[in-house]
Amino acid sequence: MKPIVDYRVYLVTDRALCLGRDLLDVVAAAVQGGVTLVQLREKHAGGREFVELGRALKDLLDPHRIPLLVNDRVDVAQAIGAAGVHVGQSDIPYADVRRILGPDAIIGLSVDTMEQALAAPDLDQVAGGAGIGPDYLGVGPIFPTATKLDAGEAWGLEKLTALRRQTHQTLVGIGGITVANAAAVMRAGADGVAVVSAIVSAPDPAAAARELLDAVEAARV
Mark whether 159 is an active-site residue: no
Q: Is 39 annotated as contributing to ligand binding?
A: yes
Active-site pick, 15, 58, 98, 110:
110
Alpha helices in the chain (DSSP H): 23-33, 47-61, 74-80, 94-101, 114-119, 156-166, 182-187, 197-200, 205-220
Active-site pick, 55, 99, 148, 164:
148
Radius of gyration in angstroms for the set of CA atoms belonging to the chain, rounded to a whole number: 16
Q: Is 43 annotated as contributing to ligand binding?
A: yes
Q: Is 164 annotated as contributing to ligand binding?
A: no
Calpha distance 57→4 (Å, rounded): 19
Q: Is 23 annotated as contributing to ligand binding?
A: no
Q: Is 58 annotated as contributing to ligand binding?
A: no
Q: Is 196 annotated as contributing to ligand binding?
A: yes
Q: How many beta carbons lie within 10 A of that of residue 191, not counting itself?
A: 20
Q: Is 146 annotated as contributing to ligand binding?
A: yes
Q: Is 201 annotated as contributing to ligand binding?
A: no
8 A C-beta contact, residue 155 and residue 142: yes
Closest CA to 88 of 67, 111, 69: 111
Q: Is 145 annotated as contributing to ligand binding?
A: yes
Active-site pick, 8, 15, 41, 73:
41
8 A C-beta contact, residue 113 and residue 137: no
Q: Report the binding-site residues.
A: 39-43, 71-72, 91, 110, 145-148, 176, 196-197
Residues recognised as catalytic: 41, 110, 148
Q: Report the binding-site residues for Mg(2+).
A: 72, 91
